[in-house]
Copies of this chain bind each other. A is one copy, B any other.
């Protein structure tokens, strides 16, 4: 295998052509309990990470927002309130199991009219150039096979001046925190996954894929390479999670 044709699935080196299918298997498996596990694994703190993302988005009534890898719709629900009847939010996810859970949840909560759904690959976004005021991808970029291609696609469909927000696991900024986090990720987390979902492997993949993801500075550089200006990031929970923001020039 040449380097160009391989990538990572957690700690495993796989053919780039196979990664999407492996990732799909994980999310088909976890979709039904995705929201529950987010609360269990983070002790509810993922709610704060998402709240900060919304606050930094600057989304206003009438805006068009694309929530990539939007899964069960946590961000979409908040954006739908912000953009109002004149605005539009597209909940996109490559995984139809996740998209179905998200759509059912949002419809049950009464979100209708200004929310649309698209089963879409972040690398090949099915939208015209210069469409959105804001794009978010929360805990999704890590799972994309070609991240540079995805960032370029996001840049293309953003309006000039539009903002990209990437919420993703990142590198803890303190070695003691990192040790505790490793212990938690590789021991506690798969155990909880097994107890609650009877699926330890998916949560082992989660922990591994986080370690393989570019750190704060690297991701910032990738965003700049994809054409974003004013790139910066905000560490949360000691860098366990980082929010990267960039603007289409």
* Residues of chain A at the chain B interface (Cβ within 8 Å): 36, 39-40, 43-45, 47-48, 188, 191-192, 195-196
Contacts and interface: CB of A to CB of B under 8 A. Distances in A.
Identical chains in the assembly: 2
Given A40-B43, A40-B44, 5 more contacts: A39-B39, A39-B196, A44-B192, A44-B195, A44-B196
A119 B196 CA distance: 29
B40 A188 contact: no
Contact of A40 (B39, B191, B195): B39
Q: Is the interface of A mostly helix, strand, loop or mixed?
A: helix
A240 to B, nearest CB: 15
Nearest to A43: B192
A77 B172 CA distance: 42
Ranked 6 nearest A-B pairs via Cβ: A44-B195, A44-B196, A44-B192, A43-B192, A39-B40, A40-B40
B43 A195 contact: yes
Contact of A47 (B45, B47, B195): B195
A164 B188 CA distance: 32
Nearest to A193: B44
A201 to B, nearest CB: 16
A72 to B, nearest CB: 14
Contact of A43 (B44, B45, B47, B191): B191
A44 B192 CA distance: 6
Nearest to A184: B43
Nearest to A188: B43
Nearest to A194: B44
A243 to B, nearest CB: 18
A184 to B, nearest CB: 10
A48 B192 CA distance: 11
A188 B43 CA distance: 8
Nearest to A51: B195
A47 B191 CA distance: 12
A50 to B, nearest CB: 11
Contacts of A39: 36, 39-40, 196
A195 B47 CA distance: 7
B45 A195 contact: yes
Contacts of A40: 39-40, 43-44
Nearest to A46: B195
A192 B42 CA distance: 9
